[in-house]
Amino acid sequence: MEVIAHKTALNDDPSDIQVKVVERDGGVTVCAVGDSGECLPTSDVSVDFTVRVPRGVRFVARTVNGLVEANSLEADTEAHTVNGNVRVSTGGAAQVDTVNGSIVASVGKITSASKFSTVNGGITVTLSNSVAARVHAETVNGRIRTEFPLALRGAFPARHADGAIGRGGPELKIATVNGSIRLKHKKPV
């Protein structure tokens, strides 16, 4: 694993924030640590991480304020933020959530943990052609567009979509309050 951290600040000294890599429970945690010793420093220092993980390694990213981007992964992936967009591309399954941000995800499989949710933002999910799942998608203020044969419900525009992709399979949940949802086929390379 390789970790690159870029620190910036408006007023505080970026050197006051340390980057720690800690092995725990069969995994590794990478975080920015301030004077308190906690992974959530209280300063205006911003730390952008670039993490390169070995092929096939499960990846989980969590932040409060900021973009989470995970590209060209092959294993199951999780991405969580409160204020920020999320972009994920994996040959495995994914679980993604944010509160204030959009989600763009490309996944290779669906498992029982496959869920994409936001409150304020749109969601675009691209699925490989081999994916089999039971889809439940809904938006309150937006529309749903799909390249799959799903039952669309609700006043125009459609705000609910349910149905099976492929042979059916694990449940794929997609939900937003203020945003549109789009389900796409992965185009052959």
Of the residues 31, 52, 73, which one is the last residue of a structural domain? 52
Q: Which domain holds residue 130?
A: 55-185
Residues 87 and 168 in one domain: yes
If DSSP states are collapsed to H, E and C, what string results for 124-158? EEEECCCCCEEEEEEEEECCEEECCCCEEECCCCC
- C-alpha 113/C-alpha 95 separation (Å) is 6
Residues 48 and 94 in one domain: no
pLDDT classification of 102: cutoffs 50, 70, 90: very high
The pLDDT, as a whole number, for residue 184 is 96
- C-alpha 154/C-alpha 152 separation (Å) is 7
- The structural domain count of the chain equals 2
Residues 167 and 118 in one domain: yes
Of the residues 52, 67, 90, which one is the last residue of a structural domain? 52
The pLDDT, as a whole number, for residue 41 is 64
Residues 59 and 48 in one domain: no
Q: What is the pLDDT of residues 14-60, one digit of tens each?
A: 888 888 888 888 788 888 888 777 776 677 888 898 989 999 999 99
Residues 158 and 145 in one domain: yes
Q: What is the pLDDT of residues 61-85, one digit of tens each?
A: 999 889 999 999 999 999 999 999 9
Residues 177 and 121 in one domain: yes
Q: Average pLDDT of 98-103?
A: 98
Q: What are the distances in angstroms from CA 94 to CA 22, 68, 78, 114, 160?
A: 24, 13, 6, 5, 21
Q: Is the confidence at residue 13, as pLDDT, over 90?
A: no
Residues 83 and 48 in one domain: no
Residues 62 and 91 in one domain: yes
For the chain, what percent of residues have pLDDT higher than 90?
62
The pLDDT, as a whole number, for residue 187 is 80
Q: Is the pTM of this model over 0.75?
A: yes
Residues 68 and 33 in one domain: no
Residues 20 and 87 in one domain: no
Q: What is the pLDDT of residues 111-166, one digit of tens each?
A: 988 999 999 999 999 998 889 999 999 999 999 999 999 999 877 788 999 999 99
Residues 109 and 121 in one domain: yes
Residues 59 and 44 in one domain: no
